[in-house]
Structure 1
Amino acid sequence: MLESRERDRPLDRAEIHDVLSNDRRWRALELLADETPRDLRSLADDIAAAESGESPAPREVRQSVYVTLHQNHLPKLDSLGVVEYDDTSKQVDLGSRARELDVYLEVVERGDLSWSEYYLGVVVLGLVSTGASLAGTPVLASFDPYVYATGALVALLGSIALQIRQQGSPWFDRLTE
């Protein structure tokens, strides 16, 4: 259990890297983000199926995943406040600090845009339209170049606010408290 002063500080980079450097911990957090709380057995079965590529996974793989989750990974995540693990009932739930890892767990599907690609597109579009307006391009020159530049900045600001709202931000949460 975390002491109250430990809960007040955000996870540092080394802790985040350590948590996410293990595939089983990573998968456990992804599965818990989709369905929580979960019992250890179903969590282990799903991770074992992903690792083995078979459903259900072979018994030895399921047992190995179950034991390492129970003895190593879940207690570690629990000690950091990322999950809440009751080793008696074998129930696992996301902890108070799980949101700090959301941005690292975001998976962009093939063909979809990541936030960074979207931001790059907004900046390029803003620069091109502003430059075209300055150069006197017939359609784009009808508006002042400041309109395009301001529009791109407003789009960036709005997008960043949306992303922070969707994914959360420990830094922003501290500012608003």
Structure 2
Amino acid sequence: MSQSTAETMEECVRTADLSASDKHRLLAEEQRRLALALLAQRRDTVEVEDLAAEIARQETGGEPVGEQVVDRVVISLHHSHLPMMDGLGVVDYDADLCQVDPAGIPRVVQDGRLEW
């Protein structure tokens, strides 16, 4: 299902409305940057544990990670990063369902930078 032009414009407006300070806060933490980059490649809702597992793999350079490492990232995402991103309107985070919808994240450009 493709997005309508109105929905696409709404996404652009939400991220474009972030102040420079909010953008800097959003990108200040490595795990948040990894989460944003991973979520920007998605259009569908993502389970927090799946996102955490991929972040943990990237933090270790692609090496296999244990359950404790993934749990640490889940906790960090749940208590810090996802609520902040949700508060800024960049994602829709449902803590009860442990799911994140990346609808408001700007798409990743070719070199991996986030485009605002």
Q: Which residue of 2 aligns with 1:23?
A: 30
Are 2:58 and 1:50 aligned?
yes
Instruction: Give identity over the alignment, percent.
Output: 34
1:32-51 paired onto structure 2 within 5 Å: 32-35=39-42, 36-51=44-59
- Greater relative contact order structure (CA < 8 Å, 6+ sep): 2
Whole-angstrom CA distance in 2 between matches of 1:79 and 1:107: 27
Q: Which residue of 1 aligns with 2:4?
A: none
Deviation track 1:149-170 (CA, whole Å, cap 9, x = no partner) reads: xxxxxxxxxxxxxxxxxx6x6x
Deviation track 1:36-61 (CA, whole Å, cap 9, x = no partner) reads: 31100100000001112354312222
Whole-angstrom CA distance in 2 between matches of 1:72 and 1:92: 14
Whichever residue aligns with residue 108 of structure 1, its letter is D
Q: Which residue of 2 aligns with 1:108?
A: 111
Are 2:100 and 1:92 aligned?
yes
Task: Say how many residue pairs are matched.
Answer: 100
Calculate the TM-score normalised by the size of structure 1: 0.50
Q: Which residue of 2 aligns with 1:72?
A: 80
Could you tell me which of 13, 17, 21 is aligned with 1:14?
Answer: 21
Give 5+ residue unaligned stretches, structure 2: 1-13
Q: Per residue, is there more helix in 1 or in 2?
A: 1
Distance apart, 1:81 and its partner CA: 0.3
**3-state SS, counterpart of residue 88 of structure 1:** coil
Whichever residue aligns with residue 72 of structure 2, its letter is S
Whole-angstrom CA distance in 2 between matches of 1:42 and 1:69: 12
Whole-angstrom CA distance in 1 between matches of 2:25 and 2:75: 20
Give 5+ residue unaligned stretches, structure 1: 1-6, 110-166, 170-177
**3-state SS, counterpart of residue 85 of structure 1:** strand
Whole-angstrom CA distance in 1 between matches of 2:103 and 2:111: 24
Query: Runs of at least 4 residues of structure 1 off by over 3 A?
Result: none
Distance apart, 1:33 and its partner CA: 1.5
Whichever residue aligns with residue 29 of structure 2, its letter is N
Bigger radius of gyration: 1
Q: CA RMSD in A?
A: 2.4
Contact map agreement 1:81 1:95 (CA 8 A) in 2? no
Distance apart, 1:107 and its partner CA: 5.3
